[in-house]
Amino acid sequence: MQNKKTNLASQNLCNDLYSRSKIGPLFYVLSTLITGFLADYYASLSMPFIAAMFVLVITAIARLMARPPQNTKDSRDAFIKKHWLLVFCCVVTWSIFFSWTVYELGLSSAFIFGLVSTINFSTAIAHQFSPHLKRALFCSLLCLLPTLVVIILFQPSLHVAALALALYIPYLLLTAKNSHKEYFEHLNNKLQLEAALLEVELLSITDGLTGLYNRREFNNQLGRAFATSNRTKQAVSLILCDIDDFKKINGSYSHTAGDDCLIHVAKVLKNVFSRETDIIARVGGEEFAIIVLSDSENSAMKSAENFQQLLSASVCSTQGHEISLTASIGVVCYQAQTSIKPHQLYDLADSAMYRAKNKGKNRVEYTTL
């Protein structure tokens, strides 16, 4: 459960990074265009301006084309590293371009527009990407500090702007830290809600005693198995098992002992029908059903016989007693070309199971279509 929660958190981080970065790259390009226009870099074909535009357009395309992966932790980690590399590239390119503009022009309309853009970029990075606090703060400061240094060293007339930037940095650090905390509180609440909803859904489809699917979910799974068989033309086998003389067990030992026997049967079933595609359900008091997908009839029969032999060779230890168990089993196989319905297949398997009981119990009977 903890691993699942960790994976969900990691996937949420990837999805949030993607959704929060879709618009940002376009603003870097747009701000560079406007700053270049205000600085009249178009007329002079300024190489720093052309180089900045080229890098930012390529980076914007790369960021917009990136998609968060949905599979392994390694792929998600790779996506996050790539994301931050592209953010770093945007920040460095803008910071160098604007710092050069400040150095060249000093106080100008390009400086005023660029300064507002720089503050906006650093703020957006600190807040939008606060889940990765250290990286977000590093890129935010990287956006601000080069301009601050250039102003202090080369543009003394702009020292008031430098003072404003210096005062803004502590505020940015504090709000980014709070945003980081709030993000993970919200994420934790979201994951807890998802876990609770998943638990409710799981409870609605499972048998409380054995942990197997319940009758309602079995009916749903059988319908899906039919649809899969019709689409892939592969066989689907249905196996019904009824524990022999179960009422005597309850009467002789207790209902608690009977419950322990049912749990024991479920464990043996899970050991035999252990493939991911095998579907096991408790469909009645002491009756179990197994849907064997994408399998041949002979293979399903062998698995049913294997279960019958393993169960009869085992004992259930409960309340100081060793209880021997056997089962009567019916097997029927559905082929896609057979024109019957799921409930009809169930009836055929049920009939085969009762034939096994009538022939002496502790045996497997087959029905062919």
Active-site positions read 286
Query: Cα separations (Å) of 126 from 92, 109, 142, 203, 224?
Result: 15, 26, 11, 42, 48
Q: What's CA 66's distance to the chain center, in Å?
A: 18
β-pairing, 327-334 vs 364-367, is: parallel
Count CB-CB contacts under 10 A for residue 5: 14
In terms of Cα–Cα distance, which of 299, 272, 268 is closest to 366? 299
CA-to-CA distance for 308 and 218, rounded, in angstroms? 21
CA-to-CA distance for 69 and 67, rounded, in angstroms? 6
Query: In sequence order, what are the residues at sequence separation of 6 or more whose Cβ sits closer than 8 angstroms to the Cβ of residue 289?
Result: 218, 238, 239, 240, 241, 280, 281, 283, 346, 349
**Cα within 13 Å of Cα(263), Cβ side:** 12
Beta strands in the chain (DSSP E): 236-243, 279-282, 287-293, 315-318, 321-324, 327-334, 364-367
Determine if residue 296 is left, alpha or beta; phi over 0 gives left, psi from -120 to 50 gives alpha, anything else beta.
Answer: beta
Name the burial class of residue 186, with classes exposed (0-12), middle (13-18) and buried (19+) by CB atoms within 10 angstroms of its CB.
exposed
Structure tokens at 121: 């970029």
Query: In sequence order, what are the residues at sequence separation of 6 or more whose Cβ sits closer than 8 angstroms to the Cβ of residue 281?
Result: 207, 212, 213, 214, 215, 217, 218, 221, 288, 289, 290, 291
Beta strands in 130-253 (DSSP E): 236-243
In terms of Cα–Cα distance, which of 346, 345, 351 is closest to 369? 345
Residue 282 pairs with which residues in a beta bridge?
A: 288
